Structure 1
Amino acid sequence: MLKIEVKTFSELTTQELYNLLQLRSEVFVVEQDCVYQDIDGKDQKALHVLGFKNNKIIAYTRIFKPGDYFEYASIGRVVVAKNERQFKYGYDIMNASIEAIKTHYKVSKIKISAQCYLKQFYTNLSFKAIGEEYLEDDIPHIAMIKE
């Protein structure tokens, strides 16, 4: 079971910030072999949803209120450490992120830019694909909405 914490950028400890950036880099840059600017100036606006196991961040998302990233609230940088994925923590961190949007932003409509290979995962969380697939950092993505 994950211990979930939701924090603003300024509430993150230096160590938490380091750990979440390290996890994002491990997965999005190294594992997915994708050179892109992860540190994009948007973390300061986001709420950070941290999933801890044995006091270590092993799952993470960042969420945005409507208008900060998309027209609707959004969830991004969804990541689970590779050696923890078999435990389905992706669902735990996503469900916590959906709840955090309802709690903090008082809305339920959410838009995401999903990597296409994870479309079924997000469909299982009640997201519906909209529009055509597109490339983002040379990785196929699709926009998805949860009402």
Structure 2
Amino acid sequence: MEIITSLEQLHKFSAPCVVALGTFDGLHRGHLDVIETAREKAHECNSQLAVFTFSNHPFEWIRPGMVPPALITGAQKQELLQQLGVDVLVDIPFNQQVADLSPQEFLQRLQQLDYSCLVVGANFTYGCRGQGTVYTLAASAKAMGFELIVRELVSEGA
């Protein structure tokens, strides 16, 4: 598994891919559903599986008093993702540079990956102050020509 640790390194991975986007702070069933859906789509498209996440919880930067306890370590997350068949892990720190990106700027940066499809959970937000939602992402998908798969949230009893 190739690991990318900064936005500036995104261009280093140039193979066609399907990207699972999310914080993936614990790799619970909902996270696994997003990643497994992306893996199935990548297989269907004969593409690589990429996971884009953060090496720290975004709340560490934007709401320091509300950071949830870590469920797994970064090393455990990397090992689990490798076991899930992830080809490239984009595991960047959430910092001021990332926090300040508008939704459009975030997608422009992400375009350095050669993706045909993004997979997210229904509660996914992106860009400065979470201004980007699955609805704005759907509009961008249509305008930019990529497929978007939005997975419903997994309930505890499911």
Structure 2 length-normalised TM: 0.30
User: Which one has more relative contact order, counting CA pairs under 8 Å at least 6 apart?
Assistant: 2
Structure 1 length-normalised TM: 0.31
Higher fraction of strand:
1
